[in-house]
Structures are given as C-alpha cells and as structure tokens.
Copies of this chain bind each other. A is one copy, B any other.
Amino acid sequence: MNDKLTIRPAHEADLPAMVAMLADDPLGAARESPDDLTPYLTAYRRIAGDPHQHLVVAVAPGTDRVIGTLQLTVIPGLSRRGATRTLIEAVRIHADARGSGLGTTLIEWAVEQSRTLGAELVQLTSDATRTDAHRFYERLGFSASHVGFKLVL
C-alpha cells in the first residue's frame, strides 16, 4: 500500500462522519444527537471562522472515509514567560480503526502542528474513567500533572 493516511482540515461534508464518531463513545452516546446535524453545522461554522481553531479529520489511505478527528486550539498567554499553548479536544477514532496506531499518529500530528504554531506547551484533559486513554497519553510523553475541573452551565 503506497497510499498514506491524510490529515486535513475538516469540511462541512465531513460532519455526519465526525458526529457519528462523537456519538459512538461510552460518554458521547448520551450527549450527542447524530440524527440532527443542525447544531453541529452551526458550531462547525463558528469553528471555521476562528483562525485559532484547527479542526481536522484523518482519512483512510486510498479512500475518502473519515476515520479520526481532533480539534486543536491555539491559546496565547502570559504565564511561563508569555508562552503560547495548544489544547487538544474531541479526539475520536472510528471503531474500525482502533488499535491501528491512528490515535498515536493523530496526537503526534497535533504535537508537531503545535510546534509549528509556536506553542511551548500542549495540554488536554481526559475523563477520569478513560484509564486506557491515560496510559496512551503517558506513553506519548504527556504528564498527568493536573486535575481537570468542569462546570456544566
């Protein structure tokens, strides 16, 4: 196989596949509505209009099938001598592609992209119940140094 995996900006046409991945998840199942894409389209346009958001999809080699996604946000800041950081959110891998190394490829892409964008720190949070994900991020060099707090409004 000479074709390579492609990681590219997400298009509106990718939304059904992306939302299906968000919903096909133990935590996502209860909070997504894959049969009604309207709120996702509104959100997609908000993301696409913000130059500090990088919403991407991974496309299977030699196909146009979306098998992964993540969102990278660039956040300038004062702390750490004015360091810019990036935040990784909404990492999802299609069920068919789990265990294939795609998660590693996507996170390594996000880290490399963060360097290119001038970031000095990459951060993310992972639900405390996702223990497999925690080991995965630690293998990739991330340190579980923080507690992540959320408040639903």
Binding site for B on A (CB under 8 A): 15, 18-19, 22, 28, 31-33, 39-44, 46-47, 50, 52-53, 55, 71, 73, 75-84, 87, 89-90, 111, 114-115, 119-128, 134, 137-138, 140-153
Contacts and interface: CB of A to CB of B under 8 A. Distances in A.
B80 A31 contact: yes
Given A43-B77, A80-B31, A52 B55 contact: no
B73 A75 contact: yes
A43 B79 CA distance: 9
Contacts of A80: 31-32
A148 B152 contact: no
A146 B128 contact: yes
- Interface of chain A, main secondary structure: mixed
A142 to B, nearest CB: 4
A152 B87 contact: no
Given A145-B150, A146-B150, A150-B142, A78 B43 contact: yes
B148 A147 contact: yes
A121 B153 contact: yes
Contacts of A76: 43, 46-47, 50, 53
